Homo-oligomer: A and B are copies of this chain.
Amino acid sequence: MPPAVSPLAVPLPSLAPLAGVRLGAAAAGIRYRGRTDLVMVELTPGTTAAGVFTRNRCPGAPVDWCRAALKGGKARGVVINAGNANVFTGRAGAEAAKASAEAAAALIGCRPREVMLASTGVIGEVLPHERLTAALPALHASLHDDAWEAAARGIMTTDTFPKGAVRRVRIGDTEVTIQGFAKGSGMIAPDMATMLCFVFTDAKLPAAVLQSLLQKGVAGSFNCTTVDSDTSTSDTVLLFATGQAKHPRVPPEGGRMLREFKAALDDLLLDLALQVVRDGEGAQKLVRIDVTGAVSSGSAKRVAMAIANSPLVKTAIAGEDANWGRIVMAVGKAGEPADRDLISVAVGGVWMARQGGVVEGYDEAPVVAHMKGREVAIEVDLGLGRGRATAWTCDLTHGYIDINGSYRS
């Protein structure tokens, strides 16, 4: 029986056609039965591409492939499969990746290095790429411009709902669209992002600009989220610009003209990252952690992530217990500059502890009510400087153990 849909799920927005992108999904039988598990995207000639990948030192073969392929800054296609991550598969894994890219390139009529790959699923089993390549011709023939929901569903593994987002902004006087889809539910911790995410825009942007925008956007979104502190070997965020929108030419350095675009991209990436946290394995509550008063923003982020990754904080939240003692413990374990007697902690906007001690007579009722809700807000002020950061996580529940403690989930 598949797990119930996350209580934190949000509906998939309507994803309309985007000029220069055709896509589709098929059931290749790579691992799952009776569902789609293979997604193909064809991009119009001239599409530029950027990517950010896991910092795990044991990345999958598709990550190796994309890192090399992205040096050209161009892409004509993407092939994504679910059910097998093609990780820790040695030479056979690299060959499976190459064969997949070659098969897609032949159908699209491009060089293999213009095809990006992403795989997610079981680690340590060679990708049965013959099944994948056997399914590609029919899939390619069926590609169309409005199969976005099918694509968002086709890349899911333990996800309980499909994840997508769209933003419309102007470059000059021309409206452009940014939209994408993502998957992820467990093995979610930054450095980087822990899941697969594919974002497309019809803007015309040099690959270097795209790469810079993506790196900054990921730093403030996927890299500020965690489900279980485990960093996947396959994390991939790809951004493609088809160049079909008729806006004024963007200079190589990007700059002011992209201010609105950058803000919308950042917002969209955060939206998708939070959808992944909302689908965190076993998640019942979405948790936002704001740290202020740190000696630097980097220090604030490390403190926020230490809180976000603490099993004791996360189980307390699952138990609807505003246990600020555990929050202080997590601050201290981060190893960052902190003075116990200056720390203040708020839950749901109520400051329970100020400058190192409990706030006598604080109003417990709104805190109790807040903890019963689906979204929990924790604020920590370190009282040392002006560094601030935000991190997002979910609670740690029996559902996480159920999902991950059963054989080969």
Give residues in A with beta carbon < 8 Å to B.
Answer: 55-59, 85, 87-90, 92, 122-125, 186-187, 189, 191, 228-233, 309-312, 315-316, 318-321, 323-326, 328-338, 340-341, 343, 353, 355-358, 396-398, 400-401, 404-408
With both beta carbons as reference points, the residue of chain B lying nearest to A312 in the complex is identified as B230
Bound CA span A232–B405, Å: 26
Residues of B within 8 A of A315 (CB): 400-401, 404-405
Counting from the closest, the 7 A-B pairs by CB-CB distance are A123-B325, A58-B332, A315-B404, A56-B332, A319-B405, A90-B357, A231-B333
A58→B328 contact, CB < 8 A:
yes
Bound CA span A177–B335, Å: 37
Residues of B within 8 A of A89 (CB): 357
With both beta carbons as reference points, the residue of chain B lying nearest to A230 in the complex is identified as B312
A124→B328 contact, CB < 8 A:
yes
Copies of this chain held together in the complex: 2
Contact of A88 among B90, B318, B328, B330 (CB under 8 A): B328
With both beta carbons as reference points, the residue of chain B lying nearest to A320 in the complex is identified as B407
B58→A353 contact, CB < 8 A:
no
Contact of A404 among B186, B311, B341 (CB under 8 A): B311
Q: List 8 A-B contacts (CB under 8 A).
A: A57-B340, A58-B343, A90-B357, A122-B325, A123-B325, A124-B358, A186-B312, A191-B335
What 6 new A-B contacts, CB under 8 Å, besides A56-B333, A57-B337, A233-B329?
A85-B325, A88-B356, A311-B400, A311-B404, A312-B404, A396-B405
Residues of B within 8 A of A85 (CB): 325
Bound CA span A337–B57, Å: 8
B187→A329 contact, CB < 8 A:
yes
With both beta carbons as reference points, the residue of chain B lying nearest to A341 in the complex is identified as B90
